Chain A
Amino acid sequence: MRVEAGLSNGTNIVKFDNVGLRYGTGAETLSDLSFSLRHGGFYFLTGPSGAGKTSLLKLLYLAQRPSRGLIKLFDEDIVTMPRKRLPGFRRRIGVVFQDFRLVHHLSAFDNVALPLRVAGVDEKDLQGPVSEMLAWVGLGHRASARPATLSGGEQQRVAIARAVIARPELLVADEPTGNVDPEMAKRLLHLFDSLNKLGTTVVVATHDLHLISSIGRSEMLRLDRGQLLDPTGALRHPPRRADA
């Protein structure tokens, strides 16, 4: 089954070819996935709970290697890539985890600054961008707060700020607006949209149809029981909201 989410114009940033993923000795969680994502594209990944969305995202942000098949990321085969080369690729990917995965003993500021520190950015060079990003997600006044003192929505915004602070080439978000109010969801999506317009390829896993319809140029990947639906690509483009 092949879904060409990325069309011929522009280079592909991600290419899956007959990919399968199995945890342990169980049945395959993902089967026969073949698709490509265009550089600069905006993609929504949808499907019912248990369809394998999070597993697919894990393959995208290099938390898992597939059990079979070929995955090319940034034009390199990451299935056989030596482990020591993976960190360099991961620094090009921003991730919003479904469970946020904030570091609980660090402040909101330090959590957002993590990707920059991992990349070796000087302390003096990260103060401005991190403060600006926190202000953008409405948390400028909570910079020194620990995650435990933040609400679910605030934690989610910190997680999103952390994912985008380093201007990743690929942004992967797992239900990024699940815990925020509609106004903040719209604001965060606008942030993703802005990044996308600057060239970042965005993949958002979500159930939220409103979210899907709000980005006019987005494309959709539908996953069900570990397989991509819509082999013909006819349903690839999501319905548009009247105000989109």
Chain B
Amino acid sequence: MSPSPRSFGAADRRLLPEGRLAGPMPWVIAIMMFLTVLAAAAGLGLGGAAASLGAGLGNRVTVQILEPNPDRREAEAARAVERLRRMPEVESVRRLSPDEMADLLEPWLGSGGVEADLPIPAMIDAQLITGASADTLRSPLAAAAPSARVDDNGQWLAPLGRLIAALKWLALGLVALMIGATAATVVLAARAALDTHRATIEVLHLMGATDVQVARLFQRRIALDALFGGFVGFGAAALALLVIGERIGALGSDLLGSANLPATSWLALALLPILGVGLAMLVARATILRALGRML
């Protein structure tokens, strides 16, 4: 007995009628892929924002020297900077210049500059190493600069960080749900295709076609539908993301800007239609083989 062939060779394309794009399946997959790409982009963008928040802002502390006397303030600021530089938890230290202070205060005090006799605190920006706590700075700083006040950026950014993380997981959950819904759509489409072509399949079976041979016919059709739907959905989503990205860029917000997608994220998104085709083929194959297994 000859070994079972795995396909019908060049005749594969003819054995099932090619009603390409005639049914709703490619368009349903396109919609699914559009939503999946948007959800995945939201997840990746929020992940980027959360990382940026943690690395850029969450590990930073601001030290204010509140001493009203300008000479003593200057001396305390210099000691505080010196003390911070010697601490292992501190990665970098930078004192804000008078010009930077003036820029910060301009919205409140106008563009005329800061009056010389106005007691403006000296401000020191310190970047901590990952995992370091602002609390470890307080005691050494109090000894060097009694009027120093340590503001932990991470403390007030924590609720925002938790919100962003929650939104990120929600987005990734949506991606998982969309993948499940796409798989369910493929199952329904494969079953419908089986019912439509049942007579042909029975004839092929009675001539000795194997389940794998028959399944390959459907896999091919469904893969083509998924390919079309996947790339249409991806294209539409990419367009939407580019428009949204441009609007975000126009806002000039550092936090929103950090949610923009880097090239690696775009690459990950571009893989989604390809993964979609693979998923569709696998699900179709499993569905068809399962259904054929119930026939003699």
Q: Which residues of A contact B (CB under 8 A)?
A: 61-65, 83-84, 86-93, 95, 101, 103, 105-106, 110, 113-115, 117-120, 122-123
Q: Which residue from B11, B206, B210, B213 sits with its C-beta under 8 Å from A123?
A: B11
B204 to chain A, nearest CB (A): 6
A211 to chain B, nearest CB (A): 24
- Answer whether residue B159 sits at the interface, using C-beta atoms and an 8 A cutoff: no
Task: With A118-B208, A123-B11 given, name 16 new contacts (CB 8 A).
Answer: A63-B206, A83-B293, A87-B4, A87-B208, A87-B209, A87-B210, A88-B1, A95-B206, A101-B202, A101-B203, A105-B14, A105-B17, A114-B204, A115-B208, A119-B5, A119-B208
Are B296 and A90 closer than 8 Å at their CB atoms?
Answer: no
Using A103-B200, A123-B9 as known contacts, say yes or no to A88 and B296 having CB atoms under 8 A apart: no
The 7 A-B residue pairs with the shortest CB-CB distance, nearest first, are A120-B5, A91-B208, A90-B208, A105-B17, A88-B1, A87-B208, A117-B8
Q: Which residue from A88, A103, A117 sits with its C-beta under 8 Å from B9?
A: A117
Report B-chain residues with C-beta under 8 Å of the C-beta of A123.
9-11
Q: Which residue from B2, B203, B293 sits with its C-beta under 8 Å from A120?
A: B2
Using A65-B296, A91-B207, A110-B14 as known contacts, say yes or no to A119 and B199 having CB atoms under 8 A apart: no
Report B-chain residues with C-beta under 8 Å of the C-beta of A110.
11, 14
Are A88 and B15 closer than 8 Å at their CB atoms?
Answer: no
Separation of A105 and B217 alpha carbons in the complex (Å): 15
Q: What are 8 A-B interface contacts by the 8 Å CB criterion?
A: A63-B296, A84-B210, A92-B1, A105-B17, A110-B11, A115-B207, A118-B8, A118-B204
- Answer whether residue B191 sits at the interface, using C-beta atoms and an 8 A cutoff: no
Are A106 and B296 closer than 8 Å at their CB atoms?
Answer: no
Q: Which residue of B lies closest to A100 (CB)?
A: B203
Q: Which residue from B14, B205, B293 sits with its C-beta under 8 Å from A90?
A: B205
B290 to chain A, nearest CB (A): 13
Report A-chain residues with C-beta under 8 Å of the C-beta of B209.
87, 118
Are B203 and A62 closer than 8 Å at their CB atoms?
Answer: no
Report B-chain residues with C-beta under 8 Å of the C-beta of A93.
208
B1-50 residues at the A interface, CB under 8 angstroms: 1-2, 4-5, 8-11, 14-15, 17
Q: Which residue of A lies closest to B204 (CB)?
A: A118
Are B11 and A113 closer than 8 Å at their CB atoms?
Answer: yes
Are A61 and B206 closer than 8 Å at their CB atoms?
Answer: yes
Separation of A64 and B209 alpha carbons in the complex (Å): 16
Q: Which residue of B lies closest to A105 (CB)?
A: B17
B199-225 residues at the A interface, CB under 8 angstroms: 199-200, 202-211, 213
Report B-chain residues with C-beta under 8 Å of the C-beta of A87.
4, 205, 208-210
Report B-chain residues with C-beta under 8 Å of the C-beta of A88.
1-2, 4, 208
Separation of A106 and B18 alpha carbons in the complex (Å): 12
Using A101-B203, A114-B204, A115-B207 as known contacts, say yes or no to A122 and B296 having CB atoms under 8 A apart: no
Q: Which residue of B lies closest to A166 (CB)?
A: B207
Report A-chain residues with C-beta under 8 Å of the C-beta of B207.
90-91, 95, 114-115, 118
Separation of A120 and B9 alpha carbons in the complex (Å): 7
Report B-chain residues with C-beta under 8 Å of the C-beta of A84.
210-211
A171 to chain B, nearest CB (A): 13
Using A83-B296, A86-B296 as known contacts, say yes or no to A91 and B2 having CB atoms under 8 A apart: yes
Report A-chain residues with C-beta under 8 Å of the C-beta of B1.
88-89, 91-92
